[in-house]
Structure 1
Amino acid sequence: MRSTAKIATSAAAVAMVAGGFSAAASAQEAQQTRAPQGVPATLDGESINLGESWKGADVCEVGSAGKVRCWDGAKATTAAQKAELAKKKKCETHNVCLYDGKNFKGRMLTFNDEYWHNLAKYGFSNKTSSVKNNQDGPGPFKDHAYLADGRNGKGKQVKFSQGEKSASLGKFNNKASSVHG
């Protein structure tokens, strides 16, 4: 009888400790959901956190290695800098380009890889108003780009075929929380 009581007491103690870890993990997860970590980027040689501020950047490009580079049009003074910025603003081949203004105006965020990106990390959640899909290579998503109103592609999705562009997202305007493309 005593050994049964000891086993029951030990099992209850383990459950309480495990429950405590579970509660701590849930609290940490909830905090991360409330305050998403921003993505580091380079702007004029300076490191910035896109989740906090774009610091005047007009265009930010997310490279396939996760490296993010940004440009500030107001600081483009040489002909070479202006030409590079103009090239980026056209939405280069291989990229999905998101704009925070209709008709491909405003700040632009580009991606060129095939997985879901949560836009809050880039300071772009619920800000996309127009899209260009200039991807051109093979892949499991056949070079379609997707916007979703939830994190990690959850919720309602809008699909953009290869070469498709939309100057206005209509009812989906400023609702995208994640992008795939």
Structure 2
Amino acid sequence: MRSIRRTVAAAALAGGIALTGLAQTAQAESGSAHGALAAYQGRTIDLAKGWQGAEACAVFAADDIRCYATTAAADKATGYRASTDPLRQNARAGAASIPACANGWVCLYQYSHGGGRRMIFNDDYWDDLDNYGFDNRTSSWRNNQKKGDRAWLAQYRGGKGTQINLSAPGYAATLGSFDNKASSVQG
């Protein structure tokens, strides 16, 4: 099924057909010609080759990845509202320092304290971050899924190597010795 989607994507791109709403695959296999394809500003981009100005990308499904020029646009698309954010409500005084991440999603941030580009996931399979141009680029995370719903970061592709648990609801402003060492995520 995955190879059929890649064939369709290659034919569509070669034929000059504009793909506007959907990316064709989110899990490019090792050695393939491209990484995850995402919809961004009316065109399809290969995230492994660069984000082309995008600041946030959300994986809605394996074949539906969307990128946004601003994190505010990503927040709107994923349904984030600061007024109903449980971590921000519980933190009160430090609420402004907690980065946005919509209910039901796992967010990875390029820099500590939720800074930089953001990758947003809500699936339960291992995603290899090199497909998204995010390999070894995670410095903080937030799991805004329901209590007890775990996510994981792993040192190598496919969930292999050292893993860290991203408990929900939770947030880590820094990753300490695991900073910029994640190559896959399950969330």
Q: Please give the TM-score of this superposition, normalised by the length of structure 1.
A: 0.70
- Which of 146, 152, 159 aligns to 2:165? It is 159
Gaps spanning 5+ residues in structure 2: where?
1-28, 82-98
**1:107 aligned to 2:117?**
yes
Distance in structure 2 (CA, Å) of the matches to 1:44 and 1:87:
20
Q: Tell me the equivalent position of 1:27.
A: none
Query: How far does the alpha carbon of each residue in 1:133-162 deviate from its partner, in whole angstroms, 9 at most, with x for none?
Result: 01128xxxx511100001100000000111
Distance in structure 1 (CA, Å) of the matches to 2:39 and 2:186:
22
Q: Is this contact kept in 1: 2:57–2:74, CA < 8 A?
A: no
**1:179 aligned to 2:185?**
yes
Q: Is this contact kept in 1: 2:75–2:100, CA < 8 A?
A: no
**1:121 aligned to 2:118?**
no
Distance in structure 1 (CA, Å) of the matches to 2:152 and 2:136:
14
Distance in structure 2 (CA, Å) of the matches to 1:53 and 1:163:
30
Question: Per-residue deviation at 1:45?
Answer: 1.1
Q: Tell me the equivalent position of 1:44.
A: 41
Q: Tell me the equivalent position of 2:53.
A: 56
Q: Tell me the equivalent position of 2:67.
A: 70
Amino acid at match of 2:76: E
Q: Is this contact kept in 2: 1:100–1:128, CA < 8 A?
A: yes
Distance in structure 2 (CA, Å) of the matches to 1:34 and 1:46:
24
Amino acid at match of 1:70: C
Higher percent of residues as helix: 1
Q: Is this contact kept in 2: 1:95–1:134, CA < 8 A?
A: yes
Amino acid at match of 1:84: K
Identity rate of aligned residues, in percent?
41
Q: 1:82 and 1:174, CA in 2 relative to 1: closer, same or farther beyond 3 A? A: closer
Q: Which has the larger radius of gyration?
A: 1
Q: Which runs of 4+ in 1 moved over 6 A?
A: none
Q: 1:127 and 1:82, CA in 2 relative to 1: closer, same or farther beyond 3 A? A: closer
Query: How far does the alpha carbon of each residue in 1:16-49 deviate from its partner, in whole angstroms, 9 at most, with x for none?
Result: xxxxxxxxxxxxxxxx646673111011111101
